[in-house]
Amino acid sequence: MKTFFHPDQLLHAPVQELHNGGFVPFAEVPARAAAILAAVGDPVLPRDAGMAPIAAVHDGDYLAFLQVAHRDWLAAGRHGDAHGYAWPVVRRRALSLDRIDARLGRFSMDASTPIAPGSWTSAYWGAQSALGALGAVLGGDPAAFALCRPPGHHAGRDYLGGYCFLNNAAIAAEAATAAGRRVAILDVDYHHGNGTQDIFWDRGDVFFASIHADPRTDYPFFWGHADEVGERAGAGATLNLPLPQGTDWTQYRPALDRALSAIRAFGADLMVVSFGADTFAGDPISQFRIETADYRAMARQIAAAGMPMLVVMEGGYAVDALGANVAAFLEGMGG
Ligand code: OKP
Ligand code: ZN
């Protein structure tokens, strides 16, 4: 299976993040991508498909903000990485505000996603990697792997969050839909893919299924509860399967069966898998108990759905085990 990756995806390197009341070293490090590459071999460089497929998912004012955010942060006399600290949660209005802190609040959903000098460039090429891998699948490859870093599934149409800036899975799903495919997104990251859910919330043409830690105990808290099923044309096209902390493979497998049955019932002919290896027992920020060998079984079960597969990298923070976990998953997908 081809891996798509661009070296500029390593530029994004924030120093620290706000965690449980203090600053800790940033978990979503460039070494994650290096560890995956060391395990899966040389990648294919994505071609540059430009802004159009990204702008088909994200709002223009958000994309414009992302490109200048760190520059404007420095111009305001700040140092280091850009963080928001005030959010328009109550009685939102479409205010056009200039101050960098106001724009950071307007275009983000949390304080754990610092913007560093290379963030836009890395996010841009991450999205291009997803589009490159989609191209391989549309061209006839049974499966392809987009080594997206930074990840994407927490980012919505007009907000960043959860280490994510551009929603790589959604960008690929939208492009696949435009190419005439009936797309299901299966999100098996430890965290709920709130951004992906939000983007397709009221649409019936893309199915979104997610298996994740119960948001009553885990980030992102406000989304991913079992009663969230989509609205309007999208009513019933969102499926959330929250599981308790401590879940192992034997407890995970029935949820995966449910998600795959729903995807089959939807009649999907292409699957985008938002794959996070942060369900791993040794993950430093997560509380499931999936083991390395289980990823092979998980991917085999998904591949048995019998449709073209686009695997998009999301989380996974046990850097020493990340290469082996991703390699096991891709092997189960058919290598
Ligand atoms: C991204 B992905 C603050 C705690 C919350 C955000 C977790 C983002 C996970 N440090 N951190 O879904 O793997
Ligand atoms: Zn995650």
Full residue range of the structural domain in which residue 199 is found: 2-48+118-332
Q: State the complex-level ipTM.
A: 0.97
Q: What is the pLDDT of residues 224-268, one digit of tens each?
A: 999 999 999 999 999 999 999 999 999 999 999 999 999 999 999
- Report the pLDDT value the prediction gives residue 91, as an integer from 0 to 100: 81
Ligand 1 center–CA 115 separation, angstroms: 15
Quick one: which of 327, 335, 264, 331 has its CA closest to 38?
A: 327
pLDDT of residue 72: 98
**CA–CA distances in Å: residue 237 to residues 198, 269, 325:** 12, 15, 30
Q: Which of 269, 260, 95, 96 lies closest to 180, judged by CA?
A: 269
Return the bridge partners of 291, or none. Answer: none
Is position 53 within any domain?
no
Q: How many helices (H) and strands (E) does the chain have?
A: 10, 9
Indicate the top mutation candidate among 17, 112, 153, 317 to test ligand 1's pocket, ranked by most ligand atoms within 8 A of CB. Answer: 112
CA-closest residue to ligand 1 atom 4: 19
- d(Cα 330, Cα 317) in Å, to the nearest integer? 18
HSE at residue 102, side-chain half, CA atoms within 13 A, is 8
19 in a structural domain: yes
What is the structure's pLDDT at 327? 98
Is the C-beta atom of 193 inside 6 A of ligand 1? Answer: no
Task: Please indicate, yes or no, if residue 91 is contained in any of the structural domains.
Answer: no
Mean of pLDDT over the chain: 98
> Could you tell me if residue 76 is inside a domain?
no
85 assigned to some structural domain: no
Could you tell me which residues come within 8 angstroms of residue 255 by beta carbon, excluding any fewer than 6 positions away?
211, 241, 243
CB 162 near ligand 1, within 6 Å: yes
pLDDT at 94: 85
Cα–ligand 1 centroid distance for 24 (angstroms): 12
Is 106 near ligand 1, meaning CB less than 6 Å away? no
Helix (H, G, I), strand (E, B) or coil at 113: coil
* Model pLDDT for residues 16-69, shown as the tens digit of each residue: 999 999 999 999 999 999 999 999 999 999 999 999 999 999 999 999 999 999
Specify the ligand 1 atom closest to the Cα of 154: 12
**Predicted pLDDT at 59:** 98
Question: According to the model, what pLDDT value does residue 85 have?
Answer: 94
Signed CA dihedral, 256, 257, 258, 259: sign only: positive
The residues that are catalytic are 154
Query: Which stretches of the chain score pLDDT less than 70?
Result: none
pLDDT score of 92 = 84
150 C-alpha to ligand 1 centroid (Å): 12
Residue 110 lies in a domain: no
**Residue 150 belongs to a domain with what CATH number?**
3.40.800.20
Query: Is 74 part of any domain?
Result: no
Domain presence at residue 179: yes
Query: Per the structure block, which two tokens stand in for 28?
Result: 């979503």
Rounded-to-integer distance, Cα 173 and Cα 127, Å: 11
Q: How many residues does the chain have?
A: 335
Domain count, the chain: 1
